[in-house]
Amino acid sequence: MLNERKRLKKIKKKKRRRRILFGLFVFSLLLLVSCLGYASFLMHKAESVINKSYEEIRNDNGKHLDPKKDNFSVLFIGIDDSKSRNFKSDTRSDALLLATFNAKNKSVKMVSIPRDSYVYIPCKDKYDKITHAHAYGGVKCTVESIEDLFDIHIDYYVKMNFYAFMDVVDALGGIKVEVPYDIKEKDSEDHRNAIVLKKGVHTLNGEEALALARTRKKDNDIERGKRQQEILKAILKKASKASSITKYDDVIEAVGNNMKTNLTFDDIKSLIYYVTSRKNIHIESLQLKGTDQNDGVYYYQLDEESVQEVADTLRKQLESSDE
């Protein structure tokens, strides 16, 4: 009798164990299906958003990336635009960052072009501040002006306004960056001293990150460009964390509503592959030197040797891997 009870007890334990294991299996399967479903949802949403954001600027664009062998360049354009500025077509560019990618060397070289740099503007056949190029002829004029400055070909561009930048930062739950000094800056709708930041390392929301990216009251465009690069790195770092995956839906939404690009959805997937498939990818920030000038109007006079040095570095970075 006692042995029979022990036998029945063992059978019950086995059944209970099987039910637990089966429950765990079902839960894991549902979790996997949910993750795959979410990934599929994100993929379809991203493709839809990118398709709506696609805008060609000239006939020689549109080559498709092969991240295993192609070198390419991307110009990131931040537009000085908001609701209070009525989204006018003659809006100036507020931030310009050129990134060049070399597949063989597994490297990215970036340079920020100060917004007040005095350069040749081909679409107007005159010298002026680079920030005016977008007001004169949009993305095409901006791209051609920077191509002329560095004597290189720009393959792709990504143009975003204030809202895309802020919404991405907010969607990620803020970014951790260093504030170099106490700051009082206007917000995205130009309310003076609306954003107050203290010196030190802080987690900033979208409005605060924008204020940090825009300010130049206590330094200059060069330092401003460095800050913008650090902010971009902080965004990429936060976005790459596993905890940010559930926020990608909001990020895609934020970018799509306020972005224009000539990158196709397949191009962007290749670009992501380029970054994520390479271990120890080297990112180098290049700096343009120059001097402040004021002939009744302030502008930044770029040092010719510095421009030539940066141009040579960029051209070498973009040389064919087969050469």
Q: Domain holding 306: CATH number?
A: 3.40.630.190
Look at residue 22 and tell me if it is in a domain. no
In a domain, 235, yes or no: yes
Give pLDDT, residue 176: 92
pTM recorded for the entire structure: 0.74
Task: Name the phi and psi angles at 122, rounded to 5.
Answer: -55, -40
Q: Which helix (H) or strand (E) holds 71?
A: none
pLDDT in tens, the chain (323 residues): 555 555 555 555 555 555 444 444 433 333 343 334 444 545 666 677 777 888 888 876 556 667 667 899 999 998 876 565 555 666 888 889 999 988 888 888 989 899 899 999 999 999 999 999 999 999 999 999 999 999 999 999 988 887 778 888 888 889 999 999 999 988 878 788 889 999 999 999 989 998 888 887 777 777 888 888 888 778 877 776 655 555 556 666 666 667 888 888 778 777 766 666 666 677 788 989 999 898 888 899 999 999 999 999 999 999 865 44
Nearest of 112, 101, 105, 140 to residue 124 by alpha carbon = 140
Is 246 a member of any domain?
A: yes
The residues, ordered by sequence, that sit 6+ positions from 19 with a Cβ below 8 Å of its Cβ are: none
Residue 244 pLDDT: 52
CA angle 222, 227, 232 (to 5 degrees): 125
DSSP 167-179: HHHHHTT-EEEEE
In 3D, which of 77, 261, 258, 46 has the Cα closest to residue 168? Answer: 258
- The predicted pLDDT at position 318 comes to 93
Q: Say if 23 falls within a structural domain.
A: no
Q: Is residue 29 assigned to a domain?
A: no
Per-residue pLDDT at 315: 95
**Closest C-alpha among 76, 49, 39 to residue 231:** 76
What are the CA-CA distances from residue 62 to residues 40, 155, 255, 263, 266 (Å)? 26, 8, 20, 7, 11
Please count the structural domains in the chain: 1
**Domain boundaries, position 94:** 54-318
Say what the pLDDT of residue 124 is.
96
pLDDT of residue 189: 80
Residue 311 included in any domain: yes
Alpha-carbon span 272 to 300, nearest angstrom: 35
| Residue 163 counted as domain residue | yes
**C-alpha closest to that of 113 among 300, 272, 242:** 300
Q: Is residue 216 part of a domain?
A: yes
